[in-house]
Amino acid sequence: MASVGWGWFRSLALGVSFLKFLLIPTYHSTDFEVHRNWLAITHNLPLSRWYYEATSEWTLDYPPFFAWFEYALSHIAKYFDPKMLVIANLNYTSPATILFQRFSVIFTDVLFIYAVRECCRYVSPLRASKDILEKPTFILAVLLMWNFGLLIVDHIHFQYNGFLFGLMLLSVARICQRRYLEGALFFAVLLHFKHIYLYVAPAYGVYLLRSYCFTASNADGSVKWRSFSFLRVTLLGLIVCLVSALSLGPFIVLGQLPQVISRLFPFKRGLCHAYWAPNFWALYSAVDKALTVVGLKYNFLDPTKIPKASMTGGLVQEFQHTVLPSVTPLATLICTFISILPSVFCLWFKPQGSKGFLQCLVLCALSSFMFGWHVHEKAILLAILPYSLLSVQRARDAGIYLILTTAGHFSLFPLLFTAPELPIKILLMLLFSVYSFSSLRSLHRRERRLLNWLETIYLIQLVPLEIFCEIVFPLTPWKLRFPFVPLLLTSVYCALGITYAWLKLYISVLSKRTYVRHKAE
CA distance 47 to 43: 10
Read off the pLDDT of residues 69-84 as tens digits, 9 standing for 90 and up.
Answer: 999 999 999 999 999 9
- At residue 344 the predicted structure's pLDDT band, cuts being 50, 70 and 90, is very high
* 399 residue type, one letter: G
Read off the pLDDT of residues 258-297 as tens digits, 9 standing for 90 and up.
Answer: 999 999 987 766 677 666 889 999 999 889 888 888 877 7
Contact between residue 278 and residue 498 where contact means Cβ atoms under 8 Å apart: yes
Cβ-in-10-Å burial (0-12, 13-18, 19+) of 489 comes to: middle
Question: What is the predicted pLDDT for the residue at 454?
Answer: 95
Query: Is the pLDDT at 380 greater than 50, yes or no?
Result: yes
* 450 residue type, one letter: L
Read off the pLDDT of residues 465-482 as tens digits, 9 standing for 90 and up.
Answer: 999 999 999 988 888 888
DSSP 317-383: SS---SSSPPPPHHHHHHHHHHHHHHHHHHHHHS-BTHHHHHHHHHHHHHHHHHH-SSB-GGGGHHH
Measured over the CA atoms of residue 72, residue 78, residue 81 and residue 83, the dihedral's sign is positive
Question: What is the predicted pLDDT for the residue at 191?
Answer: 97
Question: What is the predicted pLDDT for the residue at 237?
Answer: 95
- At residue 49 the predicted structure's pLDDT band, cuts being 50, 70 and 90, is very high
Question: What is the predicted pLDDT for the residue at 4?
Answer: 43
The total number of structural domains in the chain stands at: 1
The mean of the pLDDT values for the chain is 88
Ranked by mean pLDDT, the top range of 314-323, 373-382, 510-519 is: 373-382
Residue 211 located in a structural domain: no
Residue 242 located in a structural domain: no
- Cβ density class 340-374: b for 16+ within 10 Å, e for less: beebbebbbebbbbbbbbbbbbbbbbbbbbbbbbb
Share of the chain above pLDDT 70, in %: 87
Higher pLDDT, residue 315 or 45: 45
Q: What are phi and psi of 224, to 5 degrees?
A: -110, 105
Question: What is the predicted pLDDT for the residue at 512?
Answer: 53
Question: What is the predicted pLDDT for the residue at 15?
Answer: 96
Residue 159 located in a structural domain: no
Residue 10 located in a structural domain: no
CA distance 203 to 491: 28
Residue 289 located in a structural domain: no
Query: Is the pLDDT at 506 greater than 90, yes or no?
Result: yes
Query: Is the pLDDT at 449 greater than 50, yes or no?
Result: yes
Ranked by mean pLDDT, the top range of 227-231, 293-297, 334-338 is: 334-338
Higher pLDDT, residue 218 or 319: 319
Question: What is the predicted pLDDT for the residue at 216?
Answer: 54
- Cβ density class 77-112: b for 16+ within 10 Å, e for less: beebbeebbeeebeebeeeebbebbbebbbebbebb
| Residue 314 to residues 94, 160, 192, 494, Cα–Cα distance (Å) | 33, 29, 34, 18
- At residue 316 the predicted structure's pLDDT band, cuts being 50, 70 and 90, is very low
Query: Is the pLDDT at 334 greater than 90, yes or no?
Result: yes
Query: Is the pLDDT at 239 greater than 70, yes or no?
Result: yes
CA distance 214 to 230: 9
- At residue 45 the predicted structure's pLDDT band, cuts being 50, 70 and 90, is very high
Question: What is the predicted pLDDT for the residue at 511?
Answer: 81
The pTM assigned to this predicted structure is 0.91
Question: What is the predicted pLDDT for the residue at 314?
Answer: 43
Residue 503 located in a structural domain: yes
Domain span at residue 507 reads: 329-514
Query: Is the pLDDT at 37 greater than 90, yes or no?
Result: yes
Question: What is the predicted pLDDT for the residue at 125?
Answer: 61
CB atoms within 10 A of CB 30: 12
| For residues 457-464, average pLDDT | 97
| For residues 218-222, average pLDDT | 48
H-helix segments, 192-328: 201-208, 230-253, 257-264, 280-297, 308
Strand partners, 352: 354
| For residues 177-186, average pLDDT | 95
Q: Which residues contact 267 (CB under 8 A, 6 or more apart)?
A: 329, 373, 374
SS3 of residue 492 by DSSP = helix
| For residues 348-372, average pLDDT | 91
Q: Do strands 215-217 and 223-225 pair parallel, antiparallel, or not at all (unpaired)?
A: antiparallel
Residue 383 located in a structural domain: yes
Read off the pLDDT of residues 135-175 as tens digits, 9 standing for 90 and up.
Answer: 899 999 999 999 999 999 999 999 999 999 999 999 999 99
CB atoms within 10 A of CB 477: 7
Residue 449 located in a structural domain: yes
